[in-house]
Amino acid sequence: MISAVPFPSADPKRTWLHRWIYYLAAGLLFSATALRTYFIFKDTPYLGKALSLLAAWLLLFLGNIILSRRLAWSTILFLGLEASLILYLLVASGEDFFAILFAILGMQAMQRYSPRVVTILVSICAVLTFLALVGRIGLLQALALTLIYSAVGAFMAAYIWSARRAGMAQEQEQKLVEQLQAANEQLEFHARQQEQLAAGRERQRLARELHDSVTQTIFSMTLTTQSALLLLDRDPAQVTGQLDRLDQLAQSAMAEMQELISRLAPQAVSGGGLVSALQHHIKERRRMNNLEVTLEVNGDGTLAPAEEAGLFRIAQEALNNVVKHAGVSQVMIRLNLSEPMWMEIKDHGSGFDLMQIPDGRMGLSVMRERAGEIDWSLHVESAPGAGTRVRLERGQCDDSK
- Residue pair 192/1 in contact by the 8 Å Cβ criterion: yes
DSSP string, 211-267: IIIIIHHHHHHHHHHHHHHHHHHH-GGGHHHHHHHHHHHHHHHHHHHHHHHHHH-TT
175 shares a domain with 30? yes
Q: Is 377 within 8 Å of 371 (Cβ atoms)?
A: yes
Is the same domain home to 21 and 148?
Answer: yes
Distance CA 307, CA 70 (A): 64
Query: Angle formed by the axes of helices 74-93 and 101-110, to 10°?
Result: 170
**Together in a domain, 172 and 297:** no
Helix (H), strand (E), coil (C) string for 278-325:
HHHHHHHHHHHHCCEEEEEEECCCCCCHHHHHHHHHHHHHHHHHHHHH
Q: With contact defined as beta carbons under 8 Å apart, do 170 and 10 qualify?
A: yes
Please report whether residue 201 resides in a domain. Answer: no
In a domain, 283, yes or no: yes
pTM confidence score: 0.44
- Note whether residue 186 is domain-resident: no
216-222: list long-range contacts, CB under 8 Å, 24+ apart. 217/249, 217/252, 217/253, 217/256, 218/253, 220/249, 221/246, 221/249, 221/250, 221/253
Domain that holds residue 381: 270-401
Is 248 a member of any domain?
Answer: no
Phi, psi of 273 (to 5 degrees): 85, -160
Domain C-terminal end among 118, 147, 181: 181
Mapped onto helix, strand or coil, the DSSP state of residue 75 is helix
> Which residues, including other chains, have CB under 8 Å from residue 176's CB and lie 6 or more apart?
none
> 3-class DSSP state for residue 392?
strand
* Residue 180, C-beta contacts closer than 8 angstroms, at least 6 positions apart: 7
Q: What is the DSSP letter of 326?
A: I
Spatial contact of 106 and 115, defined as CB atoms under 8 Å apart: no
The reply to whether omega before 115 is within 30° of 0 (cis) is no
The number of beta carbons lying within 10 Å of the beta carbon of residue 1 is 8
CATH number at residue 383: 3.30.565.10
Q: Which residues contact 332 (CB under 8 A, 6 or more apart)?
A: 293, 294, 295, 296, 344, 345, 346, 347
Residue 175 lies in a domain: yes
Per the structure, the count of domains in the chain is: 2
Same domain, 167 and 281: no
Name the β-bridge partners of 344.
334, 391
pLDDT of residue 395: 79
Residue 174 and residue 277 share a domain: no
Considering the domain boundaries, does residue 265 fall inside one?
A: no
Cα–Cα distance measured from residue 253 to residue 213, given in angstroms and rounded to the nearest whole number: 8
Query: Domain end: 152, 181, 210, which one?
Result: 181
Boundary of a domain, candidates 166, 181, 196: 181
- Flag whether 351 is in a domain: yes
Dump the DSSP string for 331-378: EEEEEE-SSSPEEEEEE-S----TTTS-HHHHTHHHHHHHHHHTTEEE
Would residue 6 count as lying in a domain? no
- The pLDDT averaged over each successive group of 10 residues in the chain (401 residues) is 43 67 87 91 89 92 81 82 90 88 88 87 89 88 89 87 80 83 84 76 67 66 80 78 78 72 55 83 82 91 88 87 84 92 92 70 76 91 89 70 42
